[in-house]
Structure formats: C-alpha cells, structure tokens
Structure 1
Amino acid sequence: MQEVVSEEKFLAELEELARENAPRVFALCSEVGEREDGYAAYWGMAFDDGAEVVSTSGPMRGSFRSAESALGRLSGRRNLHLVWI
C-alpha cells in the first residue's frame, strides 16, 4: 500500500516536476534594415521533442522539430534571429 503524503509535500513535488520539465521560451526576432531595428515576429516554446511557435502579427501557429528548425523554415526572405529568453 502506498503512503499518502501531505498536500503540502505533494504540491512541492509537483512544483519540482514542473520546473524540471518546463519548456524553454524563445523569440524569433526580425531584423529591420541592416541592424537598424528589430521586433519579435514569433514567440515559441521548446520542448524535448519539438517546438511550438505563434506569430505576433496574426493567427499563424506551427509545430517544428526544434527552435532552430523553426528559424530555418520561417526565415524566408527576412533576416530572423533566434533569441533564448
């Protein structure tokens, strides 16, 4: 039979679990001109098995193998930079 732990201890264990498995947050920032200005074009969360990205200018969402693959696929004709938060 499994021991029942206190709610306080259980919540502390859940907090530790969440911290250990938290995704890394990143932005894909668009360069304007030649290093004249920039803005966050996409926000993303990187997990062990992939990355989720949302656009800051519309309803675009995407799933990618990694933050780096999102950068490569979304760069297109603009100069994007991967920035880890």
Structure 2
Amino acid sequence: MEDDFSRIDFNGAVHDLVTSQLPRLFAVVQVYREHEDARVAAWGMAFDEGLSEVVSVEGHRRMRLASPDRALGSFSHAPDITARLVWPSDVGRS
C-alpha cells in the first residue's frame, strides 16, 4: 500500500512541477492595411524567464527571442502589414 501512496504523491508532485513551469502560448498575427484582413503568421511559447520560442506557420522561420515582442519586427512589413501578439488565454476577456 505504501508504494501506491508514494507513487500517487510523486505523480502529483510531477504534475505540480509541470504546471508551475507551463509556457504561455501566443500567436503572431499579421494585420493587412487598416484592419482589412489578418492571418496567423506564427505561434510561440513564452517561458517564465522571458525567453520565447517562435515558429512561423509555414515552418521556414524559427526564432529564440528574449521576449515575445521581439518577434513583431520580423513579421511587420511597413506600411501595409503590421504584426501583433494575441494570447489565446486572453481572448474573450474584457
């Protein structure tokens, strides 16, 4: 019986460890002209330390950045295309 309880305790501790370090998912969205159209250009993960990993949806561009905001310049093309971050966990919140 003790083995089952210690295994449950260990599994719970591992779960807590994973959830405490879970990165936040974000999208880099390109907006065309004055809100004429938009597309998801890349997906990224932001880690607690500020480090972010970004991958374009085509898979041709991969970046390791100091912050999610640093991806915006790579996906903006003045004057017609701007980029913004969208955090799915924040969508629908007022």
TM-score between both structures, scaled by the size of structure 1: 0.83
- CA-to-aligned-CA distance 1:36-85 (integer Å, 9 cap, x gap): 221110100001231000000232111000001222x3134130011112
Structure 1 gap ranges (5+):
none
TM-score between both structures, scaled by the size of structure 2: 0.76
Shift of 1:32: 2.3
State whether structure 2 residue 50 is matched by structure 1 residue 47.
no
- CA-to-aligned-CA distance 1:12-56 (integer Å, 9 cap, x gap): 111111111100110000112321221110100001231000000
SS at match of 1:22: coil
Instruction: Give, in whole Å, the separation in 1 of the partners of 2:76 and 2:37.
Output: 18
* Larger fraction in strand: 1
**Seq. identity, %:** 36
Equivalent residues, number: 81
Partner of 1:24: 24
Instruction: Give, in whole Å, the separation in 2 of the partners of 1:68 and 1:9.
Output: 39
Instruction: Give, in whole Å, the separation in 2 of the partners of 1:40 and 1:8.
Output: 41
SS at match of 1:79: strand
State whether structure 2 residue 16 is matched by structure 1 residue 13.
no
Q: Which runs of 4+ in 1 moved over 2 A?
A: none
What's the C-alpha RMSD, in Å, of the aligned pairs? Answer: 1.7
| More deviation, 17-26/4-13 | 4-13
Shift of 1:7: 1.1
Structure 2 gap ranges (5+):
89-94
* Larger fraction in helix: 2
Instruction: Give, in whole Å, the separation in 2 of the partners of 1:69 and 1:31.
Output: 17
